[in-house]
Amino acid sequence: MTVTKMTAAQVARKVIEKRELFILDVRNKEAFEDWKIEGQHFDYLNIPYFELLDGVEKVLPRIPTDKEVLVVCAKEGSSLMVAEMMSEAGRDVYYLEEGMKSWSSYLEPLKVGDLTGGGELYQFVRLGKGCLSYMVISEGEAAIIDAVRFTDVFVQFAKEKNAEIKHVFDTHLHADHISGGRQIAEVTGAAYYLPAKDAKEAVFEYTSLDDGLKVEIGASKIEVGALYSPGHTIGSTSFIIDSKYLLTGDILFIDSIGRPDLAGLADDWVGDLRETLYTRYRGLAEDLIVLPAHFMIVDELNEDGTVAKQLGELFAENHGLNIESEKEFHHAVTNNLPPQPNAYQQIRQVNMGKINPGPDEQIEMEIGPNRCAVR
Nearest alpha-carbon partner for 80 in 92, 101, 96: 96
**C-alpha–C-alpha distance, residues 241 and 263, integer Å:** 28
Are 160 and 60 in the same domain? Answer: no
Cα 181 from Cα 146, distance rounded (Å): 7
pTM for the model stands at 0.95
pLDDT given at position 364: 87
Same domain for 327 and 309: yes
> CB-based contacts of 241: which residues, under 8 Å, 6+ apart?
115, 121, 136, 220, 222, 223, 247
The CATH number covering residue 313 comes to 3.60.15.10
Q: Element (H or E) spanning 152, and its range?
A: helix 151-160
Q: How many domains, in total, are found in the chain? A: 2
- Whether residue 123 lies inside any domain: the answer is yes
Active site residue 73: yes
Domain-embedded: residue 207: yes
Residue 340 is classified by DSSP as: P
Q: What local confidence, expressed as pLDDT, does residue 48 receive? A: 97
Q: Residue 264: what pLDDT?
A: 67
Q: Kindly name the residue from 73, 85, 270, 373 that is annotated as catalytic.
A: 73
If asked whether residues 67 and 132 sit together in one domain, one would say no
Q: Mind giving me the DSSP string for 93-141?
A: EEEETTHHHHHHH--EEEEEEEEGGGEEEEEEEETTTTEEEEEEEETTE
User: 256 and 213 in one domain?
Assistant: yes
Q: 217-235 burial by CB neighbour count: b if 16+ within 10 A, else e?
A: bbebbbbbbbbbbbbbbbb
Given the DSSP bridges, would you call strands 131-138 and 69-72 parallel, antiparallel or unpaired? unpaired
Instruction: State the pLDDT at residue 352.
Output: 95
Domain boundary among 80, 103, 126: 103
Partners of residue 194 on adjacent β-strands? 208
Do residues 192 and 206 make contact, with C-beta atoms less than 8 angstroms apart? yes
Give CA–CA dist 243/5, Å, rounded: 44
Calculate the average pLDDT of the chain. 93
The answer to the question of residue 201 being in a domain is yes
Instruction: Identify whether 217 is part of a domain.
Output: yes
Domain boundary among 85, 103, 121: 103
Residue pair 246/286 in contact (Cβ under 8 Å)? The answer is no
Domain span including residue 77: 3-103
Residues 26 and 114 in one domain: no
Considering 50, 78, 103, which residue would you say is the last residue of a domain?
103
Best CA proximity match to 204, nearest among 344, 345, 356: 356
- The helix/strand/coil state of 92 is coil
User: Residue 225: what pLDDT?
Assistant: 65
Predicted pLDDT of residue 170: 97
> Mind giving me the DSSP string for 1-53?
--EEEE-HHHHHHHHHTT--EEEEE-S-HHHHHH-----TTEEEEE--GGGGT
Q: Residue 213's CB: how many other CB atoms inside 10 A?
A: 17
pLDDT tens digits for the chain (375 residues)? 789 999 999 999 999 999 999 999 999 999 999 999 999 999 999 999 999 999 999 999 999 999 999 999 999 999 999 999 999 999 999 999 999 999 999 999 999 999 998 899 999 999 999 999 999 999 999 999 999 999 999 999 999 999 999 999 999 999 999 999 999 999 999 999 999 999 999 999 999 999 988 999 998 888 776 689 999 999 999 999 999 999 999 999 999 999 887 666 677 789 999 999 999 999 999 999 999 999 999 999 999 999 999 999 999 999 999 999 999 999 888 887 877 777 888 999 999 999 999 998 998 888 888 777 776
Residue 181 and residue 33 share a domain: no
List the CATH number of the domain containing 67: 3.40.250.10
**Cα-flanking dihedrals φ and ψ of residue 132, to 5°?**
-130, 125
